[in-house]
Chain A
Amino acid sequence: MDALVQLSDVTKQYDDGKSPAVAHVAMEVGHGESVAVMGPSGSGKSTLLNLIAGLDRPSSGTVRVGNQEVSKLSETGAARFRRRQVGIIFQFFNLLDDMTVADNVLLPAQLAGVPAAKARARLDELLTALRIEKHRNTYPARLSGGERQRVAIARALVNRPPLLLADEPTGALDTATGDEIGELLLDLNSSGQTLILVTHDPALAARYAKRVIRIVDGQIATAAAPA
């Protein structure tokens, strides 16, 4: 399988003088794969996700996604990379409260300069697929947690990125809603979407990921198929 994501000897050391958040990590994720990065709180799994998304830069090592070496991109380059190559889903949704569902979803397409008609068509498609079309003109504050996460997923997918990153996507949801979102992610992966899922929940990892990478104190402990 071709690797979509490649990390080589990646270390992230913050300026606080503590031990590295991520140390000498090497990993690969193939096209269409569904991988869960698991570990306890503070283990460095979110940092790892930020490095793959180009939200942060490694202190050393290389991060490559597709043809691009993310770790060497400028701020502008990293922003352009995030528009097209990755979609990110956050635990607390990170929706913009003063924008409607439609405006939130359209934002990455508008920033990327996608023609309005094309972006609108994609919006319709995603809202229908994620069953939130009736909330098109609603503000996030009026939505339930599950609906907000669906909006976040739609926003992440609007530019058809090859890689979907999910940071504790069910962490702020009740069990039933979390299951719904999990199923949705599974469906996306089934249709070919590469997925890297960060979670501390072994059950979630077991259920929705085909491979689990365990990370402890910033270092990969094991990489295996879920139990």
Chain B
Amino acid sequence: MRAVRTALHGGLAGRRVQALAIGLVLLASAAASTLAAGLLSASNAPFDHAFAAQHGAQAALAVNAAKAPAGELAATARLAGVTAAAGPFAEATVTASAAIPDTPGVVFQAFTLAGRSSPGGPVDDIVLTAGHWPTGTGQIVVSRDLADTGSGASMSPGVVITLTGVPGTPKLTVVGVGVSVTNTADGWVLPAQMTSLGPPPTEQMLYRFASAGSGAAVNADVAAVTRALPAGSVAGAESWLAVKAQENENIVPWVPFLVTFGVIGLAMSVLIEVNVVSGAVTAGTRRIGVLKAVGFTPAQVVWVYVLQVAVPGVIGVAGGAVIANLLAAPVLGQTSQVFEVAPQSIPLSVDLTVPLAMLALAGIAALVPASRAGRLSATTAIATGRAPRPSHGYAAHRLLGEARLLPRPVTIGLAGPFARPGRMLVTLAAILFGALAVTFGTGLGTSLNRVGSDLALAGTEHVEIGLAGQSAQQPSPGQPSPGQPSAAAQQAGMAAVIRAQPGTLRYVTESDDRLGVTGMAGTASVTAFGGDASWIGYALISGHWYGAGGAVVNTSFLHATGKRMGDTFTLTDDGRAVTLKIAGEVFLPGNDPQVLTNLSSVTTLGPSGAGPQMFYVGLRPGVNAQSYQNAVFAKLGPGDYHQVGSGSGILLQIISGLVLILTLLLVVVAAFGVLNTVVLMTRERVHDLGVFKAVGMTPRQTITMVVTTVAATGLIAGLIAVPAGIALHHAILPIMGNGAQTDFPPAIYNVYSPAELVLLALTGLVIAVVSALGPASWAARTRTAIALRAE
């Protein structure tokens, strides 16, 4: 064993660069694969994971505080079947307004406030994503859903919320942002704050049960709790299954692309690692021969070489796991925003399993060539280690040597990959995956930008102004807050202001209602425009914008009704009916069936709500939307309007950022794979490099030769990656669309311009060349006399 230790020590000391390369490649592979597995884990039932981690409430009961004393409520925690309970927490639903800088008119019509002394507890841990828990009265933690007001502004710590309609209209300063996995409240204050608001109308009780896997089980659990309380005291109960269904609807569209990146990352890591480790052992074949010549047994040889990989490997995978966890913080942070769950970290099981698996893989990758070399005779091993195996790449050298148009260093470099075809195939695969990620990521990023533009109706320069009482958070059509003018007065006033504004080119009103559809269960969301709305910029998946008696509908509507383009359908309301013809399929994701039509087409159904809820205003060329909006708001009364915005823009920005980060990560891993391959190759051929330099190869020619060795591989990988990436994009996008219950307009698929395709085709070449420059420069700097002495 001492001989093995001595040989191991000598091997590590004598091949420090190789040990470093193995350590680094294992570091990169372990980091990439741990992160990839972490992403896959985050993509796998993220709600369930967050629910388990945060001890989510399987049922949240609102109990009439006047009918059920606190003692009786607390006693329900000890009922059979209840495994954990939290509360009672005083709860109130209030109206509130927030003063967010540069964001006028943020009003919350129904703001659920709960009094809790701490964020933790046996049920429903509130995970703080910013700030801290209230330390006194006058402070509030708002939910992350609420913090994103939907108007592009964020309710971060420091913002002041005024509670209206309660004694003293108290002002609360936001001190934190928190996430409750089952959305038990919009804001949390200390119990003392709730006391200052007067006797609480309801108390909140949160439960976990021994059995709550189905709706029936949760209903039975809730019924048991209800029976234990005074009759009529339970005002309402919310099941975690309803929240889960809602959350999963938001999550499902984003899972496929995260899975794709995760799988690519894992595949690349494995390929690169096997390539480098087996190459490193093969490069040591001559030394194996020497060890055998001095009496090492085959088993001892195998031990030496496996340990020679394992020592730097252990350091590498440990470092890789640490880096993965550091990188995971922002990546999984963004993922958690996408999934609308509390920030996650890489599970401990992944942290342990993946690095160990990578280490085991490295061991196997070393074991195979070491065992083969261990079985060789000493003289054969020495001979094999000294010269490249015959017949590999010779013909390529000969043929390329005839290519007189290319400089000789280029033809030598081009022939290089043929000496080790297996290694170059694996390197090609690594670059291919990297370039594939770039093509896919670029396409996906553009598609998501277009989705964002289409959803934000960004195709035209316009502003959207909602009437007061139609808050983005809590729409309640036609129900302005106390003290606000009537809906009709608001509409007339707003129309007058808009008409008078010089920047107005045109405007159209929007009325929203929910109406029945003959032959479809439930209701559809019907948006009726008062005038020509074709200019607004709704993207059409197929067909055309509606004319008289026509409508455009979303994919969900088509699925729910089984209708097709050109079919007719009947909207119903209170016994009245109107039949419309489907002119087009409009891009409006989600599982809510939606119909867009002209107000005149549905007037026979009676007035929609209390009339228009929103104005779309098209602006004259050159008019600044923000300036226009500010001018309109200045002329309107303070309670007459609210700003309209969509949170989806923020979500898409987050996802686009995530796509960019993941793409860059995979490119870095691919580049690292190429770097290590070139290092290995130049180390193997260092003697030949000495010969080249001795007969007059200049440093620049040396760099050209080394870079060219992987350049062709990179170019080929890039050329393959472009169609493969486009195919992947076209395959993943419909899956994402399926999750979002929508098809996509053709423009969302056709995102690759010819110029972009040319650049993308060069991605592999760029990855290869940039990665090879380092070792190529090293080769150029290597002193000729020393290189000539190398074996």
Interface residues of A (CB under 8 A from B): 47, 50, 53, 55-56, 75-76, 79-80, 82-84, 88, 90, 94-100, 103, 106-108, 110-112, 116, 137, 139, 141, 155, 159
Contacts and interface: CB of A to CB of B under 8 A. Distances in A.
B700 interface: yes
A55 B690 CA distance: 9
A95 B415 CA distance: 17
A56 B784 contact: yes
Contact of A53 (B387, B688, B694, B701): B694
B747 to A, nearest CB: 52
Contacts of A79: 693, 696-699, 701
Nearest to B398: A100
Interface in B687-718: 687-688, 690-701
Contact of B698 (A53, A55, A75, A98): A75
Majority secondary structure, A binding face: helix
B397 A98 contact: yes
Interface residues of B, number: 34
B372 interface: no
Given A99-B401, A116-B404, A111 B694 contact: no
B388 A97 contact: yes
A53 B693 CA distance: 11
A98 B692 CA distance: 13
Given A55-B788, A98-B419, A107-B408, A141 B696 contact: no
Contacts of B22: none
6 tightest CB-CB pairs across the interface, nearest first? A83-B696, A110-B408, A79-B698, A108-B695, A56-B785, A55-B784
Interface in B430-482: none
A55 B785 contact: yes
Given A94-B788, A98-B388, A98-B394, A82 B695 contact: yes
B698 A80 contact: yes
Contacts of A90: 788
B696 A112 contact: yes
B267 to A, nearest CB: 32
Given A94-B691, A98-B415, A75 B699 contact: yes
Contacts of B369: none
B390 interface: yes
Interface string B210-252: 0000000000000000000000000000000000000000000
A99 B687 CA distance: 15
Nearest to B401: A103
B393 interface: yes
A111 B701 contact: yes
A98 B413 CA distance: 12
Contacts of A56: 783-785
Contacts of A100: 397-398, 401
Interface in B667-701: 687-688, 690-701
A83 B695 contact: yes
B409 interface: yes
B585 to A, nearest CB: 62
B694 A82 contact: yes
Given A75-B699, A94-B788, 20 more contacts: A50-B784, A55-B785, A75-B780, A79-B699, A82-B695, A90-B788, A94-B691, A96-B688, A96-B692, A97-B388, A98-B415, A99-B394, A100-B398, A103-B398, A107-B408, A107-B692, A110-B408, A112-B696, A155-B695, A159-B696
A58 to B, nearest CB: 12
A84 B687 CA distance: 22
Contacts of B780: 75
Contacts of B692: 96, 107, 111
